[in-house]
Amino acid sequence: MKTRVLLVFFGASFALVVLFAAIQALVVLGIAFDSLHPTLPWAAVFANLAHVSPAITLAAIFCAAPIAMFGLLRSRVRPILPLLLLLPFVALALFGGLWGGIRLAAAFGQPDPMALHRAPAAGSFLQDGSRIIYVDDRAGLEIRRLLVGSLDTATAQPRFALYPQGVFDPRTEAIAPRPASATTGAPFVLSNAVHAPWALFDPPPAVESVAHDARRVATLLTADLAETPLRTAAGIAAVALLLTASWVLLRLTRWPLLNALLTLGWIRLILFALPFAAHQGLAHAVEQLLGAPETLRWAYFPAVVLLGGLLLVGMNMVLPPFDHWRREVHGE
């Protein structure tokens, strides 16, 4: 069982990395599909995947650790040894995955915004909150014959205007009619369009929020990884302890499904709250309260995370023994 928990952890981590990367590639290809260039821009897709690989790796490990610990609930051995064995490997996986991710991102460089962007198709209607436009034809960045209609029924201006041409800016993903006039208004931004083809691939707000927090945490943990790896390792080790100590939530109540949902919510809370542990306001408050020097500011983040992990460890010690929980739930 001690080695089985590691096999489950690394197997789940690898599978989730592949799954998250495939979903990211599908989203990018779906949003950036251009009927004028049907050849898929695989080089740009790989550059995008390399850019977000630290966040993908971090999200996979954050999910794989509870999955591996969940398997211990049916085990007949005491979970303390498998958990102690899992802890350093979670830390090593985080450190190695984030290190490899930033090296991969550096090798590919920043994704080219000219290669992956939303693009209007010829003969399509697009609508945002106040306007509707019709793109008659497009050649590269030039649009031929652009019909713009206002959805505001209270205005005295003509509700439709036909422009002989328009310009598409791939960096801002916006369409600007030409020639411009006083009634033209702001450029039409494609990301604001509703019921557009690429909207099928836009992640839901809840998923986008999780992805955003994963990127923030990955950036936080890798900010000084190349220059001060030992200091970064301290923060990663504290995060690994916090993840492993989350075992207590998996046996918090006698209902395993409820415990799984609580653990899922806790992992989501960790992703959201970790950046606040490194907030400059917290550092200033600690320095004013304790008189700590600025040279120790790097230690505040791992110390706060370590405190959270130790609280979970203490909570686990207060709860009844795991054997009692197993007899109560499984009748063993």
Kindly state the tokens that stand for 245. Answer: 């100590």
Give the whole-angstrom CA distance, residue 238 versus residue 302.
Answer: 6
b/e 226-235 (16+ beta carbons within 10 angstroms → b): eeeeeebbbb
From 101-105, 156-160, 202-206, 296-300, the region with the lowest mean pLDDT: 156-160
Between 324 and 188, where is the model more confident? 188
Same domain for 211 and 319, yes or no, is yes
Domain boundary among 135, 161, 195: 195
Q: Are residues 266 and 303 in the same domain?
A: yes
- Reported as a single tens digit per residue, the pLDDT across 198-255 is 777 888 889 999 999 999 999 988 887 767 788 889 999 999 999 999 999 998 888 8
User: What does the pLDDT read at residue 57?
Assistant: 96
The whole-angstrom separation of Cα 227 and Cα 225 is 6
In one-letter notation, the amino acid at residue 242 is L
Alpha-carbon span 76 to 98, nearest angstrom: 34
- Round to the nearest angstrom and report the end-to-end CA distance of the chain: 18
Same domain, 176 and 300: no
Average pLDDT over residues 65-93: 89
Q: What is the pTM of this model?
A: 0.84
- Could you give the CA distance from residue 132 to residue 148 in angstroms, rounded to a whole number? 6
Same domain, 6 and 137: no
| Residue 19 shares a structural domain with residue 41 | yes
- On whether both 145 and 274 belong to a single domain, the answer is no
Contacting residues for 295 by C-beta, under 8 A, at least 6 apart? none
Question: Final residue of a domain: which of 145, 162, 195?
Answer: 195
Tell me the residue range of the domain where 147 lies: 124-195
**Contact of 127 with 194, CB cutoff 8 Å:** yes
Q: How many domains does the chain have?
A: 2
**Same structural domain, 70 and 131:** no
pLDDT at 59: 95
Rg (CA), the chain: 26
Burial tier of 185 (Cβ tally within 10 Å: 0-12, 13-18, 19+): middle
